[in-house]
């Protein structure tokens, strides 16, 4: 008898309450997505782990906790399983001299403790995924394009896009980004180490749970292995910001991209391909006046595969 195929998800919402970086819609985003996963995509509630920084949260979305949850999901996967990671929170860009490019940047998400999780960490997770399983990442954060290192661009900066205008909504808009300099200053205030190298601060504070991007001699081991089952739907291009919308007392706060995906899924019956989800979400955001352009990074085959559908047998 064929083993039961599983659908497993890790959902992370970071609002950074009572800080200078506070957002308002991120927890709402992942709670709404949890309901959608169960009702529309057949996920079992027991296979969905939610990490938020809400006051009553049983597990905070620290860098170590997020990576442990993702590692458990990936390492427990078997052929045919569908894995999903939804992140709503701040993103940032890290200057890098990789490959001798002085102005090259790496993408990262910002957990509640500032223990950055970088594109290299997501590459490592995809590389160790069981053959025949799929791993979809939806990142509603700034600079999220390219968040899986070396994943092939399907819809992104090289695609023809029409720039939007200032948001037409009456909500308060906050960009989901924390500048690199602000992160560096925060970490240095904790370590008291005098250096401009962010990796030194992260290793000092978090040790082995710091990103692989800052660990010694890790880069050469994490090249892309050719077409893989990693699928990234990003809220914007790598050089853009994603919006967090706060209507105040008038309604519920939300992330613009997360909300657009929810709208696309609700409005279209039947299967949607990964490409369709991103193209339709772009149109929703453009119609709402947002100047951000969701992207898709994955293999050619997965671009037209069903969003959160079981992988096809090979």
For 197-211, what is each residue's pLDDT tens digit?
999 999 999 999 999
Domain membership of residue 201 (yes or no) is no
- Output the six-digit token pair for 198: 């962010």
Opening angle at CA 113, ends 107 and 119, nearest 5:
20
Q: Which residue has 């790598």 as its token pair?
A: 238
Nearest by Cα to 297 from 246, 236, 249? 236
**Predicted confidence band of residue 100 (pLDDT cuts 50, 70, 90):** very low
> What pTM, to 2 d.p., does this model score?
0.92
Averaged over 158-180, what is the pLDDT?
A: 62
Domain membership of residue 207 (yes or no) is no
> 27-41, 93-107, 229-243: which has the minimum mean pLDDT?
93-107
Q: Say how many domains are in the chain.
A: 1
Kindly tell me the burial class for residue 31, based on how many C-beta atoms sit within 10 Å of its own C-beta (0-12, 13-18, 19 or more): middle
Q: Which residue has 């001798």 as its token pair?
A: 100
Opening angle at CA 192, ends 189 and 196, nearest 5:
80
Share of the chain above pLDDT 90, in %: 73
**CA dist., res. 253 & res. 13, Å (int):** 13
Cα Rg of the chain (Å, integer): 18
Domain membership of residue 267 (yes or no) is yes
**Predicted confidence band of residue 247 (pLDDT cuts 50, 70, 90):** confident
Q: Which domain holds residue 84?
A: 7-176+225-303
Predicted pLDDT at 209: 95
Domain membership of residue 193 (yes or no) is no
Domain membership of residue 192 (yes or no) is no
Predicted pLDDT at 97: 56
Domain membership of residue 202 (yes or no) is no
Predicted pLDDT at 268: 86
The per-residue pLDDT for range 33-50, each reduced to its tens digit, is 999 999 999 999 999 999
Share of the chain above pLDDT 70, in %: 87
**CA dist., res. 283 & res. 61, Å (int):** 31
**CA dist., res. 132 & res. 313, Å (int):** 7
Averaged over 94-121, what is the pLDDT?
A: 81
**Predicted confidence band of residue 1 (pLDDT cuts 50, 70, 90):** very low
Domain membership of residue 218 (yes or no) is no
**CA dist., res. 12 & res. 29, Å (int):** 9
Q: What CATH number did the domain enclosing 231 receive? A: 3.40.50.12660
Predicted pLDDT at 295: 97
Question: Which residue stretches of the chain are H helix?
Answer: 26-41, 63-75, 119-127, 180-191, 198-206, 256-267, 274-288, 300-303
Active-site residues, by number, are 90, 142
Supply the DSSP string of 71-134, one letter for each residue: HHHHHT--TT-EEEEEEES-EEEEEE-GGG-TTEEEEEE--TT---EEHHHHHHHHHTSPTT-E
Predicted pLDDT at 19: 94
Domain membership of residue 206 (yes or no) is no
Better-predicted residue by pLDDT, 272 or 250: 272
Averaged over 110-117, what is the pLDDT?
A: 97
């Amino acid at each position: 008898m064929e083993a039961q195929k599983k659908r497993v998800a890790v959902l992370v919402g970071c609002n950074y309450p009572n800080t200078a970086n506070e957002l308002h819609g991120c927890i709402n985003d992942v709670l709404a997505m949890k309901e959608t996963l169960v009702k529309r995509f057949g996920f079992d509630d027991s296979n969905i782990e939610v990490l938020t920084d809400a006051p009553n949260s049983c597990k905070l979305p620290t860098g170590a906790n997020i990576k442990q949850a993702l590692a458990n999901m990936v390492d427990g996967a078997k052929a045919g399983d569908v894995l999903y990671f939804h992140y709503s929170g701040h993103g940032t860009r890290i200057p890098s001299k990789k490959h001798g490019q002085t102005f090259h940047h790496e993408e990262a998400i910002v957990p509640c403790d500032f223990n950055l999780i970088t594109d290299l960490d997501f590459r490592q997770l995809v590389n160790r995924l069981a053959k025949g399983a799929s791993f979809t990442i939806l990142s509603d954060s700034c600079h999220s394009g390219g968040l899986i290192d070396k994943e092939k661009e399907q819809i992104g900066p090289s695609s023809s896009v029409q720039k939007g205008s200032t948001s037409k909504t009456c909500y308060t808009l906050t960009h989901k980004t924390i500048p690199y300099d602000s992160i560096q200053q925060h970490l240095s205030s904790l370590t008291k180490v005098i250096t401009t190298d962010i990796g030194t601060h992260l290793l000092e504070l978090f040790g082995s749970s710091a990103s692989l991007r800052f660990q010694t001699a890790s880069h050469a081991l994490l090249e892309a292995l050719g077409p893989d089952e990693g699928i990234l739907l990003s809220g914007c291009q790598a050089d853009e910001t994603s919006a967090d919308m706060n209507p105040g007392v008038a309604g519920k706060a939300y992330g613009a991209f997360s909300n657009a995906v929810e709208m696309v899924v609700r409005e279209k019956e039947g299967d949607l391909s990964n490409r369709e989800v991103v193209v339709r979400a772009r149109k929703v955001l453009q119609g709402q006046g947002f100047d951000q352009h969701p992207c898709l990074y994955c293999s050619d085959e997965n671009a037209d595969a069903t969003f959160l559908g079981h992988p096809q047998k090979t």
